[in-house]
């Protein structure tokens, strides 16, 4: 049968764009559909603009600390609109670069909502096209809890477009999005309250590291309310929000941010028309090659809910294109994926936590460095960094690395190579330190 395209991609985020570009590079005739802006969550309303806000927020501490280094910084003031508009302009620039990349690789772009109408057929608006292979890379969206008045809250999608900087922010959730925006708004001078149903933040990260973040965040003035849920939200006559909690308490705020997880974007794709199966969370079920229950349809990225990280979606898109169109069978290795939380200060981890290692390996050795970075000492900032290595006692292999402190994600990226490669603690010890740095602590751990 003759098809309009060799590959049709639904969703132009990180995974979809990579798959489209690489498949086109292998000689396939490719089209891609996007109903919002090319770039997806990461570029448009996620990692990139969030990290720029993190940079902007950190100047609050840097400018304060500068006085201890001899700089006379007078009349400090912050203009939210300037940062917001500069960040949105950068997002527009990056979206344009992604679009240009697709055009340069002769990928045809459809601006509209695409749905399936069969195993090899896609409908975009009133236009129907056929493709030998279809890739669904439609990502995920913030989950908004169903409760009275939930429409008064916002999600991470809207936070980048706020008209004014709120004085009081309530954030519900305990994951990375909740803690990152708690740090951002706190640095901008807002009073931040974080509400969490459980008694833990950042499940999945090493307990010592997240305990340290909780301690530092509390010292910075962020308020945490644990074992509590939201009951309802109401807009008051003066324009503020009344947030009613399960314990009977009511909080007043200017902005309520829902950061309670993300759900795969599969609703309305008409997956049933092609027999594409989803799991209980609505994520597309795929095999190790990202193929769905329909042989001609594949899926990568957050819509599969395997690991919701941009670099993973990119790897999955690359592996799909190389396997299906490049005659280079490739599968993604999901072991030892590093991740970071761009809180204040940031934290990062790779491999097993201490609890996981003790459970799986039995006997382990724990090496830590708990220190005050040199810059913090001179700035009279009582904020300590914590580095931690988990070592298999049987063979001295490093099975986990976790840290919190300035530039922790930058430092951990290289440590992730060591953990992934299966290096031993003695090989770190053999490395000469670069002094004075924070990273040298990793080769001096006792």
Residue 391 vs residue 446, higher pLDDT: 391
CB atoms within 10 A of CB 308: 19
Q: Which of 33, 29, 35 is nearest to 5 (CA)?
A: 29
Kindly tell me if the per-residue pLDDT of 152 is higher than 90.
Answer: yes
171-203 residue pLDDT tens: 999 999 999 999 999 999 999 999 999 999 999
76 has which bridge partners? none
**109-113 mean pLDDT:** 96
To the query of whether residue 435 is one of the catalytic residues in this protein, the response is yes
Q: Which pLDDT belongs to residue 113?
A: 95
127 has which bridge partners? 124
| pLDDT tier, 75 (very low <50, low <70, confident <90, very high otherwise) | confident
Integer Cα distance of 421 and 333 in angstroms = 13
Q: Which pLDDT belongs to residue 446?
A: 86
Average pLDDT, the chain: 97
Q: Which pLDDT belongs to residue 211?
A: 98
354-375 residue pLDDT tens: 999 999 999 999 999 999 999 9
- The residue length of the chain stands at 446
CATH number of the structural domain 150-260: 3.50.50.60
Kindly tell me if the per-residue pLDDT of 1 is higher than 90.
Answer: no
The structure's pTM equals: 0.96
Q: Which pLDDT belongs to residue 164?
A: 97
Q: Which of 26, 244, 402, 435 is catalytic?
A: 435
CATH number of the structural domain 345-443: 3.30.390.30
Q: Which pLDDT belongs to residue 371?
A: 98
Q: Which pLDDT belongs to residue 247?
A: 86
Domain locations in the chain?
A: 5-142+263-325, 150-260, 345-443
Identical topology for domains 5-142+263-325 and 345-443? no
CATH homologous superfamily of domain 5-142+263-325? FAD/NAD(P)-binding domain (3.50.50.60)
The dihedral region occupied by 353, where left means phi > 0, alpha psi between -120 and 50, and beta the remainder, is: beta
């Amino acid at each position: 049968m003759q098809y309009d395209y060799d590959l049709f991609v639904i969703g132009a985020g990180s995974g979809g764009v990579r798959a489209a570009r690489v498949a086109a590079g292998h000689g396939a005739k490719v089209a891609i559909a996007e109903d919002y802006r090319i770039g997806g969550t990461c570029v448009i309303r996620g990692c990139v603009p969030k990290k720029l806000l993190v940079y902007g927020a950190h100047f609050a501490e840097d400018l304060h600390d500068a006085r201890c280094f001899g700089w006379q910084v007078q009349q400090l003031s912050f203009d939210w609109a300037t940062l917001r508009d500069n960040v949105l302009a950068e997002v527009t620039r990056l979206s344009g670069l992604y679009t240009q990349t697709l055009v340069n690789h002769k990928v045809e772009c459809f601006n509209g909502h695409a749905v399936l109408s069969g195993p090899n057929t896609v409908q975009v608006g009133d236009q129907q096209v056929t493709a030998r292979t279809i890739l669904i890379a439609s990502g995920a969206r913030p989950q908004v809890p169903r409760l009275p008045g939930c429409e008064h809250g916002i999600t991470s999608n809207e936070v980048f477009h706020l008209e004014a900087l709120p004085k009081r922010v309530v954030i519900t959730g305990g994951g990375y999005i909740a803690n990152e925006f708690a740090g951002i708004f706190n640095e901008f001078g807002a009073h931040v309250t974080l509400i969490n149903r459980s008694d833990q933040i950042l499940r999945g990260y090493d307990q010592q590291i997240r305990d340290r973040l909780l301690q530092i965040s509390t010292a910075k003035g962020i308020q945490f309310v644990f074992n509590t849920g939201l009951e309802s939200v109401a807009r008051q006559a003066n324009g503020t929000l009344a947030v009613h909690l399960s314990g009977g308490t009511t909080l007043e705020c200017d902005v309520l941010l829902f950061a309670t997880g993300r759900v795969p974007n599969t609703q309305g794709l008409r997956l049933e028309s092609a027999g594409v199966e989803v799991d209980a969370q609505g994520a597309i079920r795929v095999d190790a090659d990202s193929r769905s229950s329909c042989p001609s349809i594949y899926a990568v990225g957050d819509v599969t809910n395997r690991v919701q990280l941009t670099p993973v979606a990119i790897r999955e898109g690359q592996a799909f294109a190389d396997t299906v169109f490049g005659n280079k069978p490739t599968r993604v290795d999901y072991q030892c994926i590093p991740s970071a939380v761009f809180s204040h200060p940031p934290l990062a981890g790779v491999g097993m936590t201490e609890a996981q290692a003790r459970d799986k390996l039995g006997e382990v050795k724990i090496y830590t460095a708990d220190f005050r970075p040199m810059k913090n000492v001179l700035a009279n900032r009582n904020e300590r960094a914590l580095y931690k290595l988990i070592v298999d006692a049987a063979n001295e292999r490093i099975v986990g690395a976790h840290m919190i402190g300035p530039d922790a994600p930058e430092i951990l990226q290289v440590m992730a190579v060591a953990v992934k490669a299966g290096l031993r603690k003695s090989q770190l010890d053999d490395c000469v330190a670069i002094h004075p740095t924070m990273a040298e602590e990793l080769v001096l751990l006792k």
